[in-house]
Structure 1
């Protein structure tokens, strides 16, 4: 079996796939890739089925070699990608020769690289998924230097050297996210609901796979007191007692006690995954 030998994992590196849908009733979150569009793209490029697992690398600094020739593709964040020191193109299928070192340099655009390997990363499944849930501690352990990651069997689909849906680099400037109404929007004043759309927010450094806090004006609540815990979905914008909003990510808690003023539309969630600290964010109503 082909394997990927990790020399350096970067700031953090997790195995991620489409996650564990349908288990919230058991207290198990979906988890899965933060940038699902990037996961879909790398899997299409190397001929994997959509559910194949890939590597999610935060900010770059990742280095690895394979012990046999293998096709790879990198999407999501953008930065220099090197094979034995020679630069390769992003969002394309590239043959990684046996023994050649793949390096993902520090990301210049976006936050999370997604590295797909033909055959997928074939670590053992936990509850039907190979995804790491960082909040629950479920799934394969974070990837470390010296880890040997098995690659799955050759898929039937051919390699697609190019893909007409290949994504552009993540935006560096203001990002506009579409919002759906939240279940507790009536807990906030009219002024607060207006401010949510009128203000320019900034992504905070307080961000991980659980959630991304936004810096900006406080959103004033109309209803005080505590909210009984209720279910959450990816993109839920919870507002803490300080009035600061947080966009919940793939490893969010299954239930939460802060009121949800709005929900980031599914089509905008990949952009949240690539927000860099300090990057401006604006909201608009989903069409």
Structure 2
């Protein structure tokens, strides 16, 4: 089975659960930016964990399935159309051979996930089919005219549908303070947990840059590079925080004031430029964070 790309939209890439275990080679896990939405799309499509889907930023994707296929779209309020006919939210859709499937621009949210039963059978790179935009590895971004292979449908549909992700709300993003919260003044910590920040246009799947109040340091010496994880909130010398997303670098040399919870990291991945963000301490802090 194959799918032909007619239009790729602003940014469409292949994503799966990522490639953990390669930090020693300088390669971060990558994977879907909104992991809950990706997992839900795969499960609804009847795929096992880890099947590759398309992560579509701000819609605009248009493809043609050359054989009958089963597809589903999750992640935003974008609409999936089949030969121009609109489908329902998270509806599992049977697509006839030759039909054109399109993803509209969402009104809320940023990244939609298009899954097909059988998954997209693009080549594995270090055990993953994710496109890592920072490291420059993984499958190339789909382009008009590309013929994308689709894997065989699983003999048995996946079970245990993950819960729907949190809708886009103005609720604060939950964080655990640290590991370098002590590099900031008490006033900076208070500001971080109470002030409002705005998502800058200068952001992508590597990092979400925030504008707003400056977070002052208590220490001005240099920090040796340390390992980074998705959801780390790193603060460079200008005092404006950056939320590391799925394609983040393996290490960073600026202090991390806090780390988002996995659910909060998913929500951050759906924040558009201009969105307003607040932070709050997680209900169940990590040991030593009480």
Place the TM-score, normalised by the shorter chain, in its bin: over 0.9
1:245-260 equivalence runs, <5 A: 245-260=241-256
Distance (whole Å) between structure 1 residues aligned to residue 127 and residue 84 of structure 2: 37
In structure 2, the residue matched to 1:174 is 170
Question: Which residue pairs with 1:135 in the alignment?
Answer: 134
Gap regions ≥5 residues in structure 2: 284-290
How far off its partner does 1:189 sit? 0.3
CA contact (8 A) 1:92 1:163 kept: no
CA distance in 2, matches of 1:158, 1:253: 35
Superposition pairs of residues 180-199 of structure 1, within 5 angstroms: 180-199=176-195
Distance of aligned partners of 1:265 and 1:167 in 2 relative to their CA distance in 1, 3 Å threshold: closer
Give me the TM-score of the superposition, normalised by structure 2.
0.94
Q: How does 1:184-263 map to 2 (within 5 A)?
A: 184-263=180-259
Q: Partner of 2:163 in structure 1? A: 165
2:81/2:102 contact within 8 Å kept: yes
Distance 1:251 1:167, change over 3 A: closer
Query: Structure 1 CA distance, aligned partners of 2:247 and 2:162?
Result: 30
Give the distance between the partners of 1:205 and 1:230, measured in 2 at CA.
Answer: 26
Q: Distance in 2 between matches of 1:225 and 1:134?
A: 31
Count of residue pairs brought into register by the alignment: 283
Change (3 A) 1:65 1:262: same
Structure 1 stretch displaced more, 114-123 or 263-272: 263-272
Which residue is equivalent to 2:125? Answer: 126
Give the C-alpha shift of residue 132 in structure 1.
0.6
| Structure 1 contact 15–54 (Cα < 8 Å) conserved | yes
Separation in 2, partners of 1:36, 1:240: 26
Correspondence 1:34-73 to 2 at 5 A:
34-73=33-72
The TM-score normalised by the length of structure 1 is 0.95
- Distance, in Å, in 2 between the alignment partners of 1:27 and 1:273 is 23
Q: 1:186 to 1:58 in 2, by over 3 A?
A: same
Please state whether the residue corresponding to 1:194 is helix, strand or coil: helix
Structure 2 CA distance, aligned partners of 1:89 and 1:159? 21
SS at 1:186 equivalent:
helix
CA RMSD of the aligned region, Å? 1.5
Distance 1:157 1:166, change over 3 A: farther
Distance in 2 between residues matched to 1:51 and 1:159, nearest whole Å = 11
Specify the SS of the correspondent of 1:207.
coil
Instruction: Give the whole-Å Cα distance in 2 for the aligned partners of 1:164 and 1:18.
Output: 14
Q: C-alpha displacement at 1:23, in angstroms?
A: 1.5
2:270 to 262, 268, 274: 274
Partner of 2:287: none
Distance, in Å, in 1 between the alignment partners of 2:213 and 2:163 is 37
